[in-house]
Amino acid sequence: MPIIALAYVGLRQVKDDACKQPAVVFVIDDDAGMRDSMDSLIRSIGLQAKLFAAPGEFMAEPLPHAPCCLVLDVRLPQQSGLEFQVELAKANIRIPIIFISGHGDIPMSVRAMKAGALEFLTKPFRDQDLIDAIQNALERDKERKDNEIANAYLWSRFDTLTNREKQIMALVTGGLMNKQAAADLKVSQVTVKLHRANVMRKMGACSFAELVKMADALQLEHHQWTADGVIRADSEAIAARS
């Protein structure tokens, strides 16, 4: 089986496995009574709950392929929820966060939301408010993970291209005509057309418009390939779009 087909099968298996697994709601709260209450509520809507008294316990738990989110208390004994949110970001652990607090204030909620939290609920909150926030968070996480799988498959296709094909794909999807791309690379238009046809076939693009969408998903406008195959990336531009 070709490498790209194997990659597709592997990525589909990850997605299929994720679909079979129940969504998981992680809860970090030092109040045992609150943990028990949220455990019952989360299970009542058919979701799996995993409960922790401190951030360190959560960090020892591997994240599932299935959609998941984190319900996080702001005030914890050793490390605040806001501090832990920063730690997760630095570790590139991407999980939607719903903050809960019995002592919330506007500056605190603004700080949490600016750092990427999806919701900030003040105790006592309605069960339905938490359920709505959880459902929204899980849908966001599912969408993100689906996009990551799709992009991984696109990169597996892109990696089958030669360096010259990568150069031409980046140029033509970036708006250059065949003639302009040929002049830029100091090759003939016939060469560009041949490589462009190979790119369409290898990427599995049914139309040039679809190829442009693929290039946009791969953020090719922020990458360049030199003659010896070395990739250069505009990391700041990529980070701004992530």
Which CATH number is 174's domain given?
A: 1.10.10.10
Domain end, chosen from 96, 120, 153, is at: 153
pLDDT at 106: 82
**Of 123, 153, 183, which residue sits at a domain end?**
153
CA 29-34-37 angle, to 5 degrees, is 130
pLDDT of residue 149: 85
**Per-residue pLDDT at 126 exceeds 90:** yes
pTM for the model stands at: 0.73
Q: Do 50 and 117 share a domain, yes or no?
A: yes
Number of domains in the chain: 2
Pairing of strands 223-225, 231-233: antiparallel
Phi then psi dihedrals of residue 34, to 5 deg: -65, -40
28 & 65 share domain: yes
What does the pLDDT read at residue 225?
A: 63
Give the domain CATH number at 68.
3.40.50.2300
Which of 54-63, 66-75, 120-129, 217-226 is the least confident region?
A: 217-226
Contact criterion met (CB below 8 Å) for 138 and 66: no
**Residue 166 contacts residue 158 (beta carbons within 8 Å):** yes
Cα separation of 201 and 218, whole Å? 17
pLDDT tens profile 146-189: 888 888 888 999 999 999 999 999 999 999 999 999 999 999 99
> Which pLDDT value is given to residue 240?
42
Is residue 196 predicted with pLDDT exceeding 50?
A: yes
**pLDDT at 8 exceeding the cut of 50:** no
Give backbone dihedrals phi and psi of 52, rounded to 5 degrees, phi first: -140, 150
Q: Which residues contact 177 (CB under 8 A, 6 or more apart)?
A: none
pLDDT tens digits for range 96-122: 999 999 876 788 889 999 999 999 999
Output the average pLDDT for the chain.
86
- Is residue 59 within 8 Å of 85, Cβ to Cβ? no
Q: What pLDDT was estimated at residue 66? A: 92
Range of the domain at 179: 162-241
Same domain (yes/no): 90, 177: no
More confidently predicted of 175 and 220 = 175
Q: How far apart are CA 116 and CA 155, in angstroms?
A: 27
User: Do 108 and 194 have their domain in common?
Assistant: no
Residues 123 and 184 in one domain: no
Q: Are residues 115 and 53 in the same domain?
A: yes
| DSSP run (H or E) holding 232 | strand 231-233
Residue 123 pLDDT exceeds 60: yes
Domain final residue, candidates 153, 188, 206: 153
Same domain, 192 and 148: no
Higher pLDDT, 229 or 69: 69
DSSP codes joined into one string, 35-92: HHHHHHHHHHTT-EEEEESSHHHHHTSPPPSS-EEEEEES--SSS-HHHHHHHHHHTT
